[in-house]
Structure 1
């Protein structure tokens, strides 16, 4: 089955898109996506292939995730998200899929792979769980993508007006040195602020001087202009 998936993706590839994708996802030497390969398949077509092979086995998903071809991994992520959502009330199945996801964090190694999955799988699974230690373990990882998974996963919690974990993880990640972490944290803080502006302002008032500027800009993006200027002037 995996050969059919790969064949279908290759049929939809467009070599003229490869250079642009490599530049966009920073695949050069020393960049965060170093070594990532592309075949030039647009995301809507990857989603179509994911829907076609919705029942792909875990073994074949693993092979796709192990690939250095970006579109193979992203298509596998789309299938995994679909399988998780289709499981609905089958918590045994969902737990197994979450375990598979966490086992593969080394392969979920670019921001689009994280952002297409973390809240839909890990975040959703934790919505009714009191034990969320996994988020903190990931946040303290040395791996950039595990850190991003930890904070992006909380989007599922934010949508339930549960902000405590987002705020606590943001505090852990304040001193991280990568701008992709700064952007992710700022984005989630902005989502908190969209629902509870007072909670966002409390965080800003406590941590404004520690926040990297890009994190701050993302966090305050939806605030009134006068308020944005106030916080920017404090930096």
Structure 2
């Protein structure tokens, strides 16, 4: 099978649906150049899994494509590549960061940031996360907090808490939702640290963020 961007799109085209196109368009926050084929997410994910060994140059071509599903496929391929024991984590990370302008919807970030960005930084300084958190681009800020999920799942909560504190006043609800998710997961690993964080910062948090963050905390006696 040809593992090219064109071949990937050819795999998807027979599954295009007007109903699915309308459904996808309701949750897109991408730029005006984005087009939607109307492909169910499972079909796109299955195709990406089949293209796991596609060259990164072809993944970049998918990211550059105007179709939303092409970009979903690209970040999914990056994620599947990151799961492999022989993954070139630096190359995957660079591909993600260097093409971040094309990772322009919440689900594109969520699909790849934990394993592609978070896993790469697991044994490295976390400065890039703080640079992303300070970006004027909301999707880079979402990458910063979402990437910490991989760190949390490896029992490291420091960066998740620090970046959450920086983003608590973010004007974007889509960022605050990710902050709530990171705090919730941090609470699974270290409930005492989360309790202390909420005591210090709770009055700065929106009710939805606070509610999600407290999901797994036991009620006070």
Equivalents in 2 of 1:134, 1:167: separation in Å?
Answer: 16
SS in 2 for 1:40: coil
Aligned to 1:67: 65
- What residue ranges of structure 1 are gaps of 5+ in the alignment? 26-31, 231-235
Say if 1:193 and 1:199, in contact at 8 Å, map to a contact too.
yes
Equivalents in 2 of 1:109, 1:34: separation in Å?
Answer: 8
Equivalents in 2 of 1:34, 1:100: separation in Å?
Answer: 20
RMSD: 1.7
Aligned to 1:58: 56
Aligned to 1:223: 217
Aligned to 1:78: 76
Give yes or no for the alignment of 1:33 onto 2:27. Answer: no
Cα distance, 1:213 vs structure 2 = 2.2
Following superposition of structure 1 onto structure 2, how do residues 107-186 of structure 1 map, counting pairs within 5 Å?
Answer: 107-129=102-124, 131-186=125-180
Cα distance, 1:214 vs structure 2 = 2.1
SS in 2 for 1:141: coil
Aligned to 2:22: 19
* Residues 157-166 or 12-21, more deviating: 12-21
Equivalents in 1 of 2:43, 2:141: separation in Å?
Answer: 29
Equivalents in 2 of 1:77, 1:64: separation in Å?
Answer: 9
TM-score normalised by L of structure 1:
0.87
Cα distance, 1:94 vs structure 2 = 1.7
Aligned length: 217
Cα distance, 1:43 vs structure 2 = 1.5
Equivalents in 1 of 2:24, 2:145: separation in Å?
Answer: 25
1:34-84 deviation line (CA, Å, top 9, x unaligned): 433221111211122112222222222111101221111011111112222
